[in-house]
A and B are shown apart, each in its own frame.
Chain A
Amino acid sequence: MIEALKLGKVFPGTKKRDKVLAVNDVSFRCEPGQIYGLLGANGAGKTTTLRILATILRPTSGTAVVAGYDVNREPAKVRAHVGFLSTATALYGRLTAQEMVEYFGRLYGLDEDRLHRDIDQIFTTLEMNDFRDRPCEKLSTGMKQKVSIARTLIHDPPVMIFDEPTVGLDVMTARTIVSFIRHCRERGKTVIFSTHVMSEVEKLCDRIGIIHTGRILAEGSLAELRERYREQDLEEIFVRVVGEGS
């Protein structure tokens, strides 16, 4: 489960830039077996919110409970129970696909027997055996995404965080990711997913939070949002919510 409680994040100002209020009083809840979609334009605060949930960044106010652990008090335990995937989480080019997944498996504290058993199983499921000994830098984009998925799955985390995972990917690779996210929900995992692609939200999300200038302006299931704004098209709903909130 993920529960964000009045999360706030301020990036201090520098000589070149004023301070930035990236996340402002964000609260939401996502249950196991659900996909929560964080929908927002570029710079809305999606990545910062997800980085806080993954404990890569610390909140300046509020807190969040992820898989039963507080992000402020037990960040290492949160990370041990989270799989984080974004287009910014690249692979070590000089390691092979197998070495890459092994490295993370070991960091997650898996013993060697379990690690190799799980790697064999994941590589077979994701059809990665043909390129398991190939350096990551020599893999195609689709293969790289599969290695990233294997990395996030190796410790079988109960919570999955996806930050715009399909940005810049071709249709086929994006479909692999979308079906993987759906598969996570089917396995009872708590999934949070940020995007600005409306069709992905419509296809995947059980609940949607529309985020703009660091604040969640509207929240609910797709049906609830359609009813509340008397509008079928999600893009129109998004534009109205953002327009009213600005």
Chain B
Amino acid sequence: MSLRSVLIVYRKEMLDSLRDRRTIISMVVIPILVFPLLVVGMGYLADTMFSKARQEVSQVMLLGGEDSPRVTAALKALTKVEIVPPSPDYAEQISNKLIRAAVQIPPGFDSALDRGQSEKIAVYYYEGEIKSSFAKETLQTFFADYRDQTVKVHLAAHDLPPSLLEPFKVEEKNVAPPEKVGGNALGGIIPYFVIILCLTGAMYPAMDMTAGEKERGTMETILCSPVSRTDLVVGKFLMVLTASLATAVFSVTSMALSFLLAKRYMNVAPGADSPFQMTIGLKGVFAVFFMVLPLSVLFSAMMLAIALFAKSFREAQSYLSPLTFVVIMPAVASFLPGIELNARTALIPILSTSLVSKEIVGGTYHWGYIALIFAASCVYASIGIAAAVHLFNREDVLFRV
């Protein structure tokens, strides 16, 4: 193999690809835009919609309560609720979003409370409908406060301290470090995205440099130059790998910036249960890249070899599109609760990288598995490169008619 020839081929492929609008879109534009749009755009939209829904005054139908002026007056005094007159079709009105909820006050509610008798209040709402759920929450909070108030009055009447209402408190304290919290919340998703983007980033250049060349008639031109087929395939492979890694680097950088922006501008309270709270160290990011590198090598070589079989770009697309599912399946499997990192799963390509990256993002480094998975991935990647070189030397593949 001649390093000079490999670099000449690589340089030319790089120049050629950088002038191709489609490569730039798949390698740079999409990875840079996807995450800000997804995280900031969607997050902003959801945030706006939620605050708007929360600020809305919910129309709630009051059923009964004519003989209980205290509770009805308290309900009517709520600023976030507008009480509407009763109607027998309340359920339909809730379903049709004409009102958000209905509350049923049993007869003689006020006097039953005075007697210390337990009563049942029904709140009707529409499960899954955000505005209806907010109205239900408002009513729940109101009745919980009203209940506490009633108990306090009864306790005071019997000269008992209000602390009887709450004999003890339960306080929850998190001991996991912030990266662990992030690791659990979104840890699985980051390596998953990196793996998928490595694949999609490699796909277009792999097709363009093989089936695309056949289609455009440049394959024969390059084959009659003195460059050896091994140098040719290695040069092309390095370009596909560059595209694959560049896509992953752009997307992860864009994802990190999106999360930082989201955290900064979306006023997420510290300790709140939000994905924007995750903190992943630079060490974790580099470690994930290190683990994904041999996988990216495997994808690049595999796609180059498969796309070479095709006679046209279109045919190559039909061969490579199903490969996305082959990669997504083991990557998704790493989310499943029963699938853990062990000696057996460490040898399954993609799944192993996905699992170990999840652990790394969560701050746990199983060095034995890391070494095993990296070595196994390197072996698979070498097989992929060898297959690509072998196919580039087969006339029936290069000149398939």
Is A217 in contact with chain B by the CB < 8 A criterion?
no
**A107 to B: closest C-beta gap in Å:** 5
A89: which of B8, B220, B228 is its contact (CB, 8 Å)?
B220
Interface presence of B15 (CB below 8 A): yes
Q: Which residues of B contact A106 (CB under 8 A)?
A: 8
Which residue on chain A has the smallest CB distance to residue B223?
A: A56
> A57, A77, A90, A103: which contacts B395 (Cβ < 8 A)?
A57
In the complex, are the beta carbons of B224 and A90 less than 8 A apart?
no
Enumerate A49-92 residues with CB–CB distance to B below 8 Å. 54-58, 76-77, 79-80, 82, 84, 86, 88-92
B residues 198-257 near A (Cβ < 8 Å) are 216-218, 220-221, 223-228
- Interface pair A56/B220, CB less than 8 Å apart: yes
Instruction: Give bound CA distance, A11 to B396, whole Å.
Output: 8
Contact call B220/A103, Cβ cutoff below 8 A: no
Nearest CB of A to B93, in Å: 63
Provide the residues of chain B in CB contact with A90, threshold 8 Å. 216-218, 220-221
B217, A95: Cβ atoms under 8 Å? no
Q: Are B225 and A12 in contact (CB under 8 A)?
A: no
Q: How far is the CA of A218 from the CA of B190 in the complex (A)?
A: 70
Report yes or no: A93 in contact with B216, Cβ–Cβ below 8 A: yes
| Interface status of B19 (Cβ within 8 A of chain A) | yes
- Write the residues of chain A forming the contact surface with B, with a CB cutoff of 8 angstroms: 11-12, 54-58, 76-77, 79-80, 82, 84, 86, 88-95, 99, 103-104, 106-109, 135, 151
Given contacts A89-B220, A92-B218, A135-B19, 10 further A-B contacts (CB under 8 A): A55-B224, A76-B228, A77-B226, A80-B226, A82-B224, A89-B218, A90-B218, A91-B221, A94-B16, A107-B227
Chain B, residue nearest A77 (CB) = B226
The distance in angstroms between the C-alpha atoms of A35 and B290, with both chains bound, is: 58
A92 to B236, CA, bound (A): 15
At the interface, yes or no: B146 with Cβ under 8 Å from chain A? no
A54 with B395: CB separation less than 8 A: no
Complex contacts, B221 vs chain A, CB 8 Å: 89-91, 151
Interface 1/0 per residue, B11-25 and A, CB below 8 Å = 010011001100000
Please measure, in the bound complex, the distance between the C-alpha atom of A144 and the C-alpha atom of B275, giving whole angstroms. 56
A135 to B225, CA, bound (A): 21
Chain B residue nearest to A12 (CB atoms) is: B396
Q: Do B226 and A76 touch (CB < 8 A)?
A: yes
Residue B399 lies at the interface, judged by CB distance under 8 Å to chain A = yes
Chain A residue contacts of B218, Cβ below 8 A: 89-92
Say if the beta carbon of B72 comes within 8 Å of chain A.
no
Residues of the A chain whose Cβ atoms lie less than 8 Å from the Cβ of B20 = 94
Inter-chain contacts of A86 with B (CB < 8 A) = 220
User: Is the Cβ of A103 less than 8 Å from the Cβ of B8?
Assistant: yes
Nearest-Cβ distance from residue B87 to partner chain A, whole angstroms: 70
* B-side contacts of A104, CB under 8 Å: 225
Task: Check B184 for interface membership: any CB of A closer than 8 A.
Answer: no
Q: Are B226 and A89 in contact (CB under 8 A)?
A: no
B225 and A79 form a contact (CB under 8 A): yes
B68: Cβ under 8 A from any A Cβ: no
* Closest partner residue, chain A, to B393 (CB atom): A58
Interface 1/0 per residue, B385-401 and A, CB below 8 Å: 00000000001100100
* B366-401 CB contacts (< 8 Å) to partner A: 395-396, 399
Contact A54 B224 (CB under 8 A): yes
Asked if residues A107 and B16 are in contact (CB atoms below 8 Å), the reply is no
Contact partner, A84, options B8, B217, B224, B228, Cβ 8 Å: B224
Let me know if B279 is at the binding interface, CB within 8 A.
no
CB-defined contacts of B395 to chain A, threshold 8 Å: 57-58
B217 touches A107 (CB 8 A): no
Q: Which residues of chain B come closer than 8 Å to A103, judged between CB atoms?
A: 8, 12
- The answer, among B8, B216, B220, for a CB contact under 8 Å with A107, is B8
B19–A107 touching, CB < 8 Å? no
Q: List 13 A-B contacts (CB under 8 A).
A: A12-B396, A54-B224, A58-B395, A76-B226, A79-B226, A88-B217, A89-B224, A90-B220, A90-B221, A94-B15, A95-B15, A106-B8, A109-B226
Kindly state the separation between the CA atoms of A137 and B16 in the bound complex, as whole angstroms: 12
Q: Is the CB of B226 within 8 A of A92?
A: no
Closest chain-A Cβ to B29's Cβ sits at a distance in Å of 18
Q: CA separation between A206 and B191, bound complex, in Å?
A: 67
B5 at the interface (CB under 8 A from A): yes
